[in-house]
C-alpha cells in the first residue's frame, strides 16, 4: 500500500519525478524517459515553465498552428491556434477563405465592463443598511486609491459600486456589486485586490456606525472575489452575403443551404442537447486562440456558457437570418481578455503569437477571438447540413489513426492516397493497413 507523502512540494524536481515514477508507474525508467523527452533543453525556458505552476514534472505539448486569410474589418490576419483536435484549424481556415471573397468579418466591441463582488451577511433593517451604504461608498473608493492609481492612469479603474439585496434568495445575504474597467489587462488580480480592500473598509466602518444596533454591526463577510460572468464585456462578429453566393455544394441550391443553416441554428436555440454540442464547436475556435494568447480559457468557457443561458434556457451563441435577400450570420458573446500581464509577458510563444496578431489591444483581441469562434461554427454547420460532419473530420483524423496503428511513412503516404476516394473508419484503415503489409 502506498503511504501518503509529507512535504512533497519541498522536494527537488528530480526527487518528485523519482517518487511519482517509483510509486505510480509500471515501468519507472520508461516513465522517466517520457518525462525527460518533453523537457525543454533550453534551461532558462524550462525554468520559466517550471515556475508557472506548482510541483512541475515536465511539459505537456499541445500543437500550435495557424489559420490564415482572416479578413477582419478590412485587415488581414493570420490567427494562431493551440489545440489537439484535428480538423479545427482546417475548418476555420476554410471558412476564412470562403468569407475573404465576400467582404470578410465585421466586428464590434459592445462593452468591456468586468464584475467583482463582496458577499456578506447582515441581520437587521435594510433601510438602515442602505443609508449606511450611501455613507460607505465614497470611503470604499477612497480607501482603494493606492490600488487604482496606475489603472486610472491607463483609463481604467472602478466604474461603480452598488448594494444588492439578495435576501429573498438566501437569508440575510447581500452584496457589494462592483464594476471595473481594466483596459488591456484581464484584471483579475486588480479586481480581487480592490474587493478585499472593500471588505476591510466595510468591516471597519460598520464597527463605528452609530445607527446600527450591536446585532446589525455583526456583519459577516463571506468572501470577496471577481466574477467570470461578464455579460457587459461582450463582442459581436458577423458575416453576410447575398443568398445566391452561398453555394457550398452541388446537392443544394444556395437558398436551400441558407434555409438549412438557419434551421440548424434555430434547433440549437430550442434544444439544449444540440446547443451544447453546437456551442462546443464554437469554443473549439475560441479556446484555441485564448490558449495561444496566454488567456484563461476556463474563465472564458464558464462565462460564455452562463451567457448562453441568459434567456432562461441554454441555447445557441450564434444566430442567422435572411434579410432582404442577404444571408447574415453572427455571434455575440462575453470575452474578458488581456494582452498585458500574466503569461502574455512571460511565455515566449505567447508573446510571439501576439506579435503574429500584430500586437492587438484587449478589445482587438476580443474581436479576433470572436471571429475564430464564428468561423469554426460556420464551417461545422455548413458541413452538418451538406456532406455531414464525419467526412471532413475523419479525413483530418486519418493520420492520428495511422500513428496509433504504427504505420511507417511509406505506409502513411499510400493509405492517405487510398482514402482520398474511400470512406474512412478506424476499422477500414486497420484492414487496409493489414492488407498493405501482406
From the candidates 287, 296, 347, 364, give the one annotated as an active-site residue: 296
For residue 71, report the phi and psi dihedrals to the nearest 5 degrees: -95, 110
Tell the residue number behind the cell numbers 499541445, with chain if given. Answer: 62
Cα separation of 326 and 260, whole Å? Answer: 15
Catalytic residue of the set 75, 123, 153, 280: 280
The angle subtended at Cα 312 by Cα 335 and Cα 377, nearest 5°, is: 45
- Residue 296 bears catalytic tag: yes
Is residue 347 part of the annotated active site? The answer reads no
Active-site option among 77, 305, 347, 393: 393
Q: Which helix (H) or strand (E) holds 120?
A: strand 114-121
* Residue 279 near residue 316 (C-beta atoms within 8 A): yes
- Contact, 322 vs 233, CB < 8 A? no
Nearest CA among 423, 435, 418, 417 for reference residue 394 = 423
Question: Is 393 part of the annotated catalytic residue set?
Answer: yes
Among residues 18, 50, 85, 143, the one annotated as catalytic is 85
* Packing angle, helices 272-292 and 362-385, rounded to 10: 140
Burial class (CB in 10 A: 0-12, 13-18, 19+), 65: middle
For residues 46 and 151, give the distance between their C-alpha atoms in angstroms, rounded to a whole number. Answer: 32
287 as an active site residue: the answer is: no
List, by residue number, the catalytic residues.
85, 280, 296, 393
Amino acid at each position: 500500500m502506498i503511504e501518503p507523502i509529507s512535504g512533497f512540494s519541498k522536494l527537488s524536481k528530480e526527487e518528485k519525478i523519482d517518487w511519482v515514477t517509483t510509486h505510480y508507474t509500471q515501468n519507472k525508467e520508461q516513465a522517466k524517459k517520457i518525462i525527460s523527452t518533453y523537457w525543454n533543453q533550453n534551461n532558462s525556458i524550462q525554468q520559466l515553465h517550471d515556475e508557472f505552476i506548482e510541483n512541475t514534472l515536465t511539459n505537456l505539448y499541445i500543437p500550435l498552428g495557424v489559420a490564415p486569410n482572416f479578413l477582419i474589418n478590412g485587415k488581414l490576419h493570420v490567427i494562431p491556434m493551440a489545440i489537439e483536435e484535428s480538423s479545427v484549424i482546417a475548418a476555420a481556415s476554410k471558412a476564412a477563405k470562403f468569407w475573404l471573397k465576400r467582404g470578410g468579418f465585421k466586428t464590434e466591441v459592445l462593452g468591456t465592463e468586468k464584475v467583482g463582488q463582496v458577499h456578506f451577511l447582515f441581520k437587521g433593517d435594510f433601510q438602515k443598511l442602505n443609508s449606511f451604504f450611501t455613507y460607505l461608498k465614497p470611503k470604499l473608493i477612497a480607501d482603494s486609491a493606492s490600488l487604482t492609481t496606475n489603472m486610472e492612469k491607463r483609463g481604467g479603474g472602478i466604474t461603480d459600486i452598488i448594494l444588492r439585496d439578495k435576501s429573498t434568495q438566501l437569508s440575510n445575504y447581500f452584496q457589494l456589486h462592483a464594476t471595473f474597467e481594466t483596459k488591456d489587462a484581464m484584471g483579475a488580480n486588480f479586481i480581487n485586490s480592490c474587493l478585499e480592500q472593500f471588505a476591510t473598509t466595510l468591516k471597519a466602518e460598520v464597527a463605528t456606525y452609530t445607527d446600527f444596533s450591536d446585532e446589525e454591526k455583526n456583519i459577516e463577510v463571506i468572501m470577496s472575489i471577481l466574477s467570470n460572468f461578464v455579460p457587459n464585456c461582450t463582442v459581436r462578429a458577423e458575416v453576410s452575403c447575398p443568398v445566391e453566393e452561398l453555394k457550398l455544394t452541388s446537392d443544394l441550391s444556395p437558398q436551400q443551404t441558407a434555409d438549412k443553416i438557419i434551421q440548424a441554428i434555430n434547433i440549437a436555440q430550442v434544444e439544449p442537447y444540440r446547443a451544447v454540442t453546437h456551442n462546443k464547436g464554437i469554443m473549439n475556435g475560441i479556446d484555441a486562440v485564448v490558449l495561444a494568447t496566454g488567456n484563461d480559457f476556463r474563465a472564458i468557457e464558464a462565462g460564455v456558457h452562463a451567457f448562453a443561458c441568459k434567456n432562461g434556457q441554454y441555447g445557441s451563441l450564434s444566430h442567422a437570418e435572411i434579410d432582404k435577400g442577404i444571408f447574415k450570420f453572427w455571434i455575440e458573446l462575453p470575452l474578458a481578455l488581456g494582452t498585458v500581464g500574466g503569461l502574455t509577458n512571460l511565455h515566449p510563444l505567447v508573446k510571439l503569437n501576439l506579435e503574429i496578431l500584430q500586437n492587438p489591444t484587449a478589445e482587438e483581441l476580443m474581436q479576433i477571438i470572436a471571429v475564430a469562434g464564428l468561423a469554426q461554427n460556420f464551417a461545422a454547420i455548413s458541413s452538418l447540413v451538406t456532406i455531414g460532419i464525419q467526412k471532413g473530420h475523419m479525413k483530418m483524423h486519418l493520420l492520428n489513426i495511422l500513428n496509433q496503428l504504427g504505420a511507417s511513412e511509406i505506409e502513411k503516404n499510400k493509405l492517405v492516397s487510398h482514402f482520398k476516394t474511400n470512406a474512412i473508419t478506424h476499422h477500414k484503415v486497420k484492414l487496409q493497413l493489414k492488407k498493405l503489409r501482406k
